[in-house]
Chain A
């Protein structure tokens, strides 16, 4: 036969003041809701930004150029980065890696060949493959190969589609653009010229340029330009946070320019995350306060029923069992409050996803698994904390 709480229940004096008890329930519910919603919003922001800022492996990649002023205009050397500049940047702790955009040092032309009647001057650049946000397996070139794979900035296609109708061209999709064969003509300083066929193999959201494999650019610079590139107009920096004030100060001090849109976005991200971290901490504080209120409530029960509890302990009732029974009275309330807050969070996320965010693919209509894990952890902590506190109090009485 197991011990029944029913028999000893009348011996435990309940505490008057239903208002304070309901107030604690309400406070805890509100705190848990705030905490869970903040975590969910924090995760939502992370997911939204992941799509926009294209952080690769948790890093931000930002482009850096030298500021062209009236004084430096026309002095190419002063407006380009050299190896010393790169070494100076590399030495900074907040810069994890750096790669130059190597540009062509000769004239080249892009044409539609015999299929499309267009011709334009062009530049090609190259960057280390690990700095690319998208790297198709066929993005490589070796000497003797007549096909050059090209990665084009997504923005270029967007711009083309904006002005195309005005020139009587039809707008084109990414898929169609990838299928168009084009011809790249390279002109050497000595008057030589060579045609290559080219194909768009990918679009980059990160790098605003027309990119060719690094092996091609190095080979072509040597062949048509007569020398290897040693100066670079743009560098890409790999950093943990594009919005790091130390990084921005350093770049300002050096007179370098960064992608303002990206850092502004980073600043917004930081502010948003700060707000939700603050809200989450506030929620956590409210949860802790309401747990404290519950704990006071239980301590009051012990104080009011001290004599009966002492007698129960002296006739052989275990402090552990008594603690479990008294703390157990709160468990259904805890379960209800936390599950209710979780249910409200689920509904809010659903509404947020469908109504406010128009079912954006980066987000999910369901709450994150972390939110559910935090809710369960809170429940476990609340139960364990009360049980432990009661056991200690009862052991002192025995």
Chain B
């Protein structure tokens, strides 16, 4: 499985954005197993890029091909299958079910295409320091805790690409490192690629390619 990006640019961006960017307006090929780090200042379109790759938005020019198929031709059912089997995501805004517990939020994703047994939820939450929060409703968790729930949720399924939009923005260095270790471990088991988009450098991410947005 590979991801091809052909000269894409958000339709609301000026063409001049292509000049300084290593992503906008460029040809990129991302293969399975690659760790890509995209460094981007505010307003450069980080979240837009992640949403384009995940099929949540289509307001761009150029084309994105997943396994040689243009994602603009994907039907809602195609996207459902793709998000269940091939692409997982950690949203910048977490996007959790606030009225559900931590355990329920993760289980909702796990049961969709179980890569791990249910016991793994407890193991991972303990590892990231939110083991005691399993039965707490997400709305009562801090942003940092929610971010870790969101990370664990993304690791419950099989994937070829893991998209992460500022995944550690609410975590301290220690917790970020722990989370990063878990993500890398899980990605390596799947021989999956990570595309991490962040405002600043994340030193503990062993990227194979660094791109400036």
Contact = CB atoms under 8 A, between A and B. Distances in A.
B34 interface: no
Given A4-B111, A11-B97, A316 B77 contact: no
Interface in A1-57: 1, 3-4, 7-8, 10-11
A3 B111 contact: yes
Nearest to A397: B76
A312 B113 contact: no
B126 interface: no
A394 B80 CA distance: 12
A380 interface: no
A316 B108 contact: no
Contacts of B81: 316, 318
Nearest to B107: A7
B76 A316 contact: no
Contacts of B109: 315-316
Given A7-B107, A7-B108, A398-B79, A316 B100 contact: no
A92 interface: no
A16 B119 CA distance: 37
Given A3-B111, A3-B112, A314 B95 contact: yes
Contact of B100 (A11, A314, A321): A11
Contact of B111 (A1, A313, A320): A1
A243 interface: no
Contact of A311 (B79, B80, B97, B104): B97
A82 B197 CA distance: 101
B108 A398 contact: no
B76 A1 contact: no
Nearest to B80: A318
Contacts, number: 61
A340 interface: no
Contacts of B198: none
Contacts of B100: 10-11
A398 B80 contact: yes
A228 B115 CA distance: 98
Given A315-B109, A316-B157, A1 B114 contact: yes
B108 A318 contact: no
Given A7-B107, A10-B100, A398-B79, A317 B95 contact: no
A315 B108 contact: yes
Contact of B77 (A3, A7, A311, A319): A319
A271 interface: no
A11 B97 CA distance: 8
Contact of A316 (B104, B107, B112, B114): B112
A319 B80 CA distance: 8
Nearest to A322: B80
B95 A308 contact: no
Interface of B: 54, 56, 75-77, 79-84, 89, 95, 97, 99-100, 104, 107-109, 111-114, 153, 157
The 4 closest A-B pairs by CB, nearest first: A316-B83, A318-B80, A316-B84, A398-B76
